[in-house]
Amino acid sequence: MPSILIVCTANQCRSPLGEALLRQLLQADAKGADWQVESAGTWATNGRSAHPDMCIAAEESGLDLYQHQARNVDAISLEQYNLILTMEQSHKEALQIEFPSIRNRVFLLSEMLGVTYDIPDPIGGPLDDYRATVRELKRLLQLSLPRIIDLTQST
């Protein structure tokens, strides 16, 4: 089964949103049932809920993050994932240094479109920042879905 891990810092905003959005896109593409999509954080505290404002912003787009439980990357086996997508360059670098065996499977999410930029963390900002994150991740994942599928199936 193809598997993807999406990583941010605390696994409370961007990565759980990315997980939910990517699952939704894969299901619409009739591939979702055969794919494993999960998320984790480089500095996550296991068991924490998604941020309340991210839950609200996600719900406005038809996504439910209310049951999400944060996980730290140290708490899971990264070897099981075909593709690991990070929100920031610092996440990518940290994973590649700490887990050299997965180095070639770790990408900055924006790299899926051939560019390099971080997805800003909305934490601490107003609800509109969370809504902007939903819009940006939705756009980025929709446009990069063919490359994500291709990379995942080729590893």
Question: What residues are labeled active site?
Answer: 8, 14, 121
Instruction: Calculate helix-pair angle for 14-28, 52-59, nearest 10 degrees.
Output: 20
- Residue 50 structure tokens: 């998604």
Output the CA angle 142-90-143, nearest 5 degrees: 10
Amino acid in position 51 = H
